[in-house]
Amino acid sequence: MQMIGLARLGRDAELRATQSGEKVASLSLAFNHGQKGADGTRPTQWVDGSLWGKRAEALIDYLVKGQQVVVTIDDPHIEEYQGRNGAGVKLAGRVTQIELAGGGQQRTAPAPAAARAPAAAPRPAPAPASGGLDDDSDIPF
């Protein structure tokens, strides 16, 4: 069985290596489904995905919180886990195909002090367009 759909990353992907050296990225995927409720939002189904190999290494800097992705998940299944609040279950699967769809930003590391350009005189900030967002506080991710 496969699960295919548009999801949003709920946190930055985490890259690790197995004992054999194979790279794997852990993804927290949020899928909206069903009809909107009285509050105007759709229910969210969270899926723990794993992306393996060179694709995980190549995309890790782009798999950041808020990024939309189109994914194919093979063998979605329910896993049991032990958490702080006791036992629970989660939906999990292996991501076999992934495409970046929008949102999010590339992860960046701060430049070393010697490589930074000297600071230029600050420019006044442009006035926000009417109806636009002044900051990221209204963005759910």
Q: Is residue 11 part of a domain?
A: yes
Domain count across the chain = 1
Amino acid 76: pLDDT: 94
Q: Which domain holds residue 25?
A: 2-106
91, β-bridge pairs:
47, 78
Residue 83 domain flag:
yes
133 falls within a domain: no
Please tell me the predicted confidence (pLDDT) of residue 74: 95
Q: What is the pLDDT along the chain (141 residues), one digit of tens a residue?
A: 999 999 999 999 999 999 999 999 999 999 998 888 889 888 999 999 999 999 999 999 999 999 999 999 999 999 998 889 899 899 999 999 999 997 666 666 544 444 434 444 444 544 444 444 444 444 455
Q: How many CB atoms lie within 10 A of CB 17?
A: 11
69, 59 contact by CB (below 8 A): no
6: tokens are 């548009």
The Cα 37–Cα 54 span in angstroms is 40
Q: Is residue 55 part of a domain?
A: yes
Is 80 inside any structural domain?
A: yes
Q: Give the number of residues written for the chain.
A: 141
**Contact between 67 and 9 (Cβ < 8 Å):** yes
The one-letter code for the residue type at 57 is E
Has residue 111 been placed in a domain? no
Query: Which CATH number do you get for residue 74?
Result: 2.40.50.140
pLDDT score recorded for residue 130 = 44
CA 93 – CA 71 distance, rounded (Å): 11
